[in-house]
Amino acid sequence: MRSFRTLVERQIQKTRLSGGLQGLKGEGKPLPDATGDAFTDPGVAAGFRMMAEAGVLPEEIRLKKQVADQRAVLAGVTDPEARKREMARLSGLMLRQSIAEEARRKFLKG
């Protein structure tokens, strides 16, 4: 059965082989304590931190940030036509985020 850990390890290996994990802050030092982190597995938590520092976060996390940013943009738009365009952009980002989340769920189910 595939696991989230396997997915993270594959991303780390792919990035490592392309040289994306060289010269990062903390390279060669022990892993930080993951107490209080969103992930209970320290390896997964460390993997996400490494991926974030290397700029290779999973698509759904990148899209989540874009959705939040687009909501802020939409909040400041008053022109009806511009608002319509920004709402369409938000809708598209939300759809892509949902697709990415569903793809992860299906991957983890095996």
- Please, is 36 exposed, middle or buried when counting C-beta atoms within 10 Å of its C-beta (0-12, 13-18, 19+)? exposed
Q: Are residues 104 and 83 in the same domain?
A: yes
Tens-binned pLDDT, residue by residue, of the chain (110 aa): 467 778 788 888 888 888 877 877 777 777 665 454 444 556 666 776 787 788 787 788 889 999 999 999 999 999 999 999 999 999 999 999 999 888 877 876 76
| Max Cα-Cα span within the chain | 54
Residue 83 and residue 72 share a domain: yes
Indicate whether 52 and 62 sit together in one domain: no
57-61 contacts, C-beta under 8 A, 24 or more apart: 58/11, 58/100, 58/104, 59/96, 59/100, 60/97, 60/100, 60/101, 60/104
The structural domain count of the chain equals 2
> Nearest Cα to 94, choosing from 52, 58, 57, 65?
65
Q: What is the pTM of this model?
A: 0.54
- The verdict on 31 and 68 lying in the same domain is no
Range of 106's domain? 58-110
Among residues 32, 57, 82, the one where a domain terminates is 57
Instruction: Please calculate the CA angle 12-106-1 and round it to the nearest 5 degrees.
Output: 70
